[in-house]
Amino acid sequence: MNRIVVGLCCVFVMGVASAAANSGVVMIAEADVSAQGTATILADVDAQVQSNARTQAAAGATAGITADASATPALAARIRGLESSFRCLVCQNETIADSTADLAADLRMIIHEQVQQGATDVQIRDYMVTRYGDFVLYDPPFKTLTWALWLGPFVLLALGLGMFAGIVLQRRKMRPPPLTDLQQQRARRLLGNP
Amino acid sequence: MKRFLLPLIFFAGLSAVLAASLSNDPRRLPSTFIGKQAPTFDLPRLDATDRRLSPEALRGQVWVMNVWASWCESCRDEHSALVALAAKNIVPIYGLDYKDEPDAARQWLKQAGNPYIASMMDPSGQTGIDYGVYGVPETFVVDRRGVIRFKRSGPLTQAALDTQILPLVRSLQGEGSDE
């Protein structure tokens, strides 16, 4: 019984570890800059809020510019799809389509203009990646830096299942130790068969 | 004993990964520009709008580009460090005035001191986007060949200047301008 519990624990730990591996990759990518300190985050956000306030005051509504009357529904859907495939660098957990950040509004505008000018999705993707790196993509490419991100969870799952199977098989092979004469006598007595 | 050891090792490993993540700032991103040619621009100067500035004109020297704006609160935190750096006359600092009102920008420099040899006006933010700017202030170090060698997002601190930027600038100034 104990071994099963331990085995299940291992599988659980593997699961958690695979989730950690996801952030681990990001960590590797950031390792070279992580030493720069964390004290400035709030200040940055603060500045961005300021900037938002300013832009909205200056330029009126900047969000939703993609709902331009000149765009056909198909084109609007394509623009929307593109916007949803990029991460907003300022709020990081939002797509460019969802974000209200100033920079996201600018990038929506750029996507919009490029689509109108006939740029392909690949060209727009390249435009973003040259400027902001793979981090801007919600669907990161499979390459040396990201292989752990893609494969890590499966490797860990396989490892956990393998260990679990090993423990179960081992348990199945186990035979109870033979009873001593005294135990056999006692067993017979208890079974009412002296 | 052995059956406790394995989960314990996993636990220790996991703790180490999570502990490392604690001190890791997810807002800091590696710049894709390190080692690449500084994107070109041709922008009017804040102090003399009829004159323009481009990275090509700055070839042959190591220079610092600081992205700033008068509306940017955290730019104020680094301003005194920039002014002090400029006073040392070690490296020319050029400003990129990102999405700003020229009058407000000039007013701010007059009031707080101007560390820049010149500032370029980028009212649309297009040059900022070309440089991958996502949070003002940002600072770039460009070498003699026009290649970006360093980027920092967020306010400069005296410590960052002393330990990262100045040593880099000195070593870059020692490099020749030709490959």
| ipTM over cut 0.85 | no
Q: How far is B133 from chain A (nearest CA, A)?
A: 8
pLDDT, residue B26, reads 65
Contact B29 A132 (CB under 8 A): yes
Q: pTM, whole model, 2 decimals?
A: 0.67
Lowest mean pLDDT of A26-30, B67-71, B137-141, B153-157, name the range. Answer: A26-30
Contact A17 B17 (CB under 8 A): yes
pLDDT, residue A15, reads 55
On chain A, the residues whose CB falls within 8 A of the CB of B23 are: 34, 38
A114 inside 8 A of chain B by CB: no
For residue B26, whether the previous peptide bond is cis, meaning omega lies within 30 degrees of 0, is: no
Helices and strands (DSSP H and E) totals, chain A = 7, 0
Q: Is residue A163 a contact partner of residue A170, using CB atoms and an 8 Å limit?
A: no
pLDDT, residue A7, reads 53
Please name the residue of chain B whose CA is at the shortest distance from the CA of residue A8: B7
Rounded to whole angstroms, the maximal C-alpha distance in chain A is 100
Q: Is the pLDDT of residue B69 over 50?
A: yes
Interface test with A, best of B127, B134, B138, B150 (most A CBs within 10 A): B134
pLDDT digits (tens, 9 = 90+) for B37-59: 999 999 999 999 999 999 999 99
HSE-CB of B104 using CA atoms within 13 angstroms = 12
pLDDT, residue B176, reads 65
Residue with tokens 């040396």: A144
Q: How far is A179 from chain B (nearest CA, A)?
A: 27
Q: Is the pLDDT of residue B64 over 80?
A: yes
Rounded to whole angstroms, the maximal C-alpha distance in chain B is 79
Segments of chain A assigned E as strands: none
Q: Is residue B129 a contact partner of residue B98, using CB atoms and an 8 Å limit?
A: no
Q: How far is B111 from chain A (nearest CA, A)?
A: 20
- Percentage of the residues of chain B whose pLDDT score is greater than 90: 77
Count of pairs with CB atoms under 8 A, one residue in A, one in B: 127
Q: What is the mean pLDDT of chain B?
A: 90
- One digit per residue, the tens of pLDDT, for chain A of length 194 reads 455 555 555 555 555 555 444 444 443 333 333 333 333 333 343 344 444 434 443 343 344 444 455 558 888 889 999 999 998 888 778 899 988 888 899 999 999 999 999 999 999 999 999 998 888 888 877 777 778 888 999 999 999 999 999 999 999 888 888 888 999 889 888 998 75
At residue B137's C-alpha, the angle toward residues A89 and A106, to 5°, is 40
Please name the residue of chain B whose CA is at the shortest distance from the CA of residue A32: B30
Contact A43 B154 (CB under 8 A): yes
Give the one of B26, B99, B129 whose C-beta lies nearest to A51's C-beta.
B99
Q: Is residue B112 a contact partner of residue B76, using CB atoms and an 8 Å limit?
A: yes
- CA dist., res. B154 & res. B78, Å (int): 9
Interface of B with A (CB under 8 A): 3, 6-7, 10-11, 13-14, 17-18, 20-21, 23-32, 69, 71-75, 77, 99, 125, 129-132, 134-137, 152-155, 157, 160
On chain B, the residues whose CB falls within 8 A of the CB of A29 are: 29-30
A55 inside 8 A of chain B by CB: yes
pLDDT, residue A74, reads 85
Interface test with A, best of B22, B23, B27, B126 (most A CBs within 10 A): B27
Q: Is the pLDDT of residue B25 over 90?
A: no
Q: Is the pLDDT of residue B65 over 60?
A: yes
Evaluate the CA torsion angle B126, B131, B136, B140 in order and state its sign. Answer: negative
On chain A, the residues whose CB falls within 8 A of the CB of B72 are: 47, 50-51
Evaluate the CA torsion angle B27, B30, B33, B34 in order and state its sign. Answer: positive
Q: How far is B158 from chain A (nearest CA, A)?
A: 12
